[in-house]
Amino acid sequence: MPTKLSKQNNRLDMLLVNVPMTFSDLPPMAPALLKSCLIREGYTAGTLDFNIRMVNQSADLQHLIDYFLLSHADSETIKEAEQLAEKWADEIIEINPRWVGISLFTFQCRSATNILCRLLKQKRPDIKIVIGGSGLSSGGINGINEYPRELQSKGHIDHFIMSEAEESLIRLLKEDLDYPGIDSDTYNNVKDIESIPYPDWDDYDFSEYTPVMMIYGSRGCVRKCSFCDIHQHWKYTARPGESVAKEMIHQSEKYGVTDFRFADSLTNGSLKEFRKFIRIMAEYNDSAEKKITWTGYYIVRDPMAEKEEHWDLMKRSGAERLLVGIESGSEKIREDMDKKFKNSDIDYLLEQAHKQGIKLTFLMIVGYPTETREDFEETIAMFHRYKKYAGNTIENVSVSDTLGILPGTPLVRDLENLNIILDPKFEINWLCLDNPELDLRTRVMRVIELRDLISDLGYSHVSDHKMITMQMLNENEKRFNERLKIIAKTKAPKKTFNIVQI
């Protein structure tokens, strides 16, 4: 597979590599962003994406994809995976960098990282390796970091970086190894995100991807949903709306890409800056020959905060799709989640999106600890109520496999008050003793029930992991339940309960 990154006459300071397996054909922003930070500091840098190659050859490489995802396969498949990773290593060696930085977008990138790092160190031990990304920690971005330390102890990597790397990667190359984030659980967030340069996409061949460019306008989140760890990891900060619009226009004109995807947790966190952004983009699109479109995460707000003229500006600015965390059709459950909107607010969101022709993806969570069957029925009723929007305004529905309770979330900090037994090794393995009928099997069966229902009603799924979910349940349920029994006996919960339900 050809690459836009050619062999360097002088040795490259750092090669930033994206590894399988992430089911995305969008160009990854992290390597492009870090490349621009390195270049600004006087280093030479390039990017290389092995993941997109597997995505584009998924029909022929499904057995290898399954291995990289699940970490187990027959001996022939493992041998083939080693041979493929060896080709990656040889390609890196041909470029001849001093450093290789490997980006793990999720924990599912670990298998490929393990093989590649081992082979690189065997072939060229002088090339230093640093890994980073959300895939380093187990149990969310605030989880435990045993994985990178294990690779380090084996000598397969030299360093790892936790959280943001725009500053810590530079410090690493300057050998300032005491800087927070380098080989440690502590980290510094970038205080002035406006100071970060635009991502450098020069090495990317956009014909290999869905032609969408990633961009961000903020970090963190203004909400503190009980199941989410984002607000614990970042203090919310937003770029000026004018700056985001300027970058979008600049990158579009430079690379010829007219469709953008926000990497933010939410686009409308700061209404002040968001309104500046949509106004500038609306004015640009009103006269542009090639209009710019964008997609991003969106929070439901009170209608008074986003009146009809706001929605008109959004449409003119290029808003094409919004991903909205609805989570549940039950107002009670959303209140328990600390979501800040009512059913009538969802009605208004749908009315305005439908009027403007803006597509929505509903993000749903089934099996919140306090969810009763009656609460779940309210979610079912919601999709019946919105059936007229199925397949048009509600373009997709994404129902997560089942709720995992992550470190750093309000749910974890409130386990005792909620009377929840949590298995720290398996984030999906928990039981709320005040709601014992909501065991793991019930939660999984409700996920399947809702997915089947929305399909019958004419909604589209973003993806369907039913068989993977059932396989996971059938293989692990007995082991999970045994662990819960042990944990329950040692935790001495505040209320009396009957362990028979577990």
Which one is predicted more confidently, 109 or 142? Answer: 109
Amino acid code (one letter) for 270:
S
Give 427's contacts (C-beta < 8 A, 6+ positions apart). Answer: 139, 140, 404, 405, 406
- CA dist 291 and 284 (Å) reads 8
Confidence of residue 497 (pLDDT cuts 50, 70, 90): very low
Which residue would you say has higher pLDDT here, 1 or 38? 38
For residue 501, what pLDDT is reported?
A: 40
pLDDT at position 408 is 81
Residue type, 228: C
- 3-state SS class at 161: strand
Average pLDDT over residues 167-193: 93
For residue 230, the model assigns a pLDDT of 86
What is the C-alpha separation between 488 and 482, in angstroms, rounded?
A: 10
Q: Convert the pLDDT of each residue in 60-111 to its tens digit.
A: 999 999 899 878 889 999 999 999 999 999 999 999 999 999 999 988 899 9
In whole angstroms, give the CA distance from residue 480 to residue 425.
10
Task: Say how far residue 146 (Cα) sits from the centre of its chain.
Answer: 20
Q: Which two tokens stand for residue 272?
A: 């002040």
- Taking the C-alpha atoms of residue 64 and residue 134, their distance in angstroms, rounded to an integer, is 22
Band of pLDDT at residue 4, cut at 50, 70 and 90? low
Q: Evaluate if residue 1 carries a pLDDT over 50.
A: no
Provide the mean pLDDT of the chain. 91
- Which residue has better confidence, 321 or 6? 321
Q: What is the pLDDT of residues 270-293, one digit of tens each?
A: 999 999 999 999 999 999 999 999
Cis geometry, peptide bond prior to residue 364 (ω within 30 degrees of 0): no
Residue 273: count other Cβ atoms within 10 Å of its Cβ: 19
In the chain, what are the domain boundaries? 12-193, 211-501
**pLDDT tier for residue 495 given thresholds of 50, 70 and 90:** very low
Q: What percent of the chain has pLDDT over 70?
A: 93
pLDDT digits (tens, 9 = 90+) for 438-480: 999 999 999 999 999 999 999 998 765 555 567 767 877 888 8
What CATH number labels 211-501?
Answer: 3.80.30.20
pLDDT over 80 (residue 125): yes
Q: DSSP secondary structure string, 353-403?
A: HHHHT-EEEEEE----TT--HHHHHHHHHHHHHTGGGBTTTEEEEEE-SS-
Positive/negative CA dihedral, 106, 108, 112, 117:
positive
**Mean pLDDT: which of 65-79, 131-145, 247-261 is highest?**
247-261
Task: Using alpha carbons, list the distances in angstroms from residue 71 to 17, 56, 81, 211, 406.
Answer: 20, 21, 11, 31, 23
Whether residue 381 is predicted with pLDDT greater than 50 in this model: the reply is yes
Q: CA separation (Å) from 187 to 144, 179, 419?
A: 14, 8, 32
> Per DSSP, what are the bridge partners of residue 324?
298, 362
Contacting residues for 372 by C-beta, under 8 A, at least 6 apart = 435, 438
CATH number of 12-193: 3.40.50.280
Given a cut of 50, whether residue 493 has pLDDT beyond it is: no
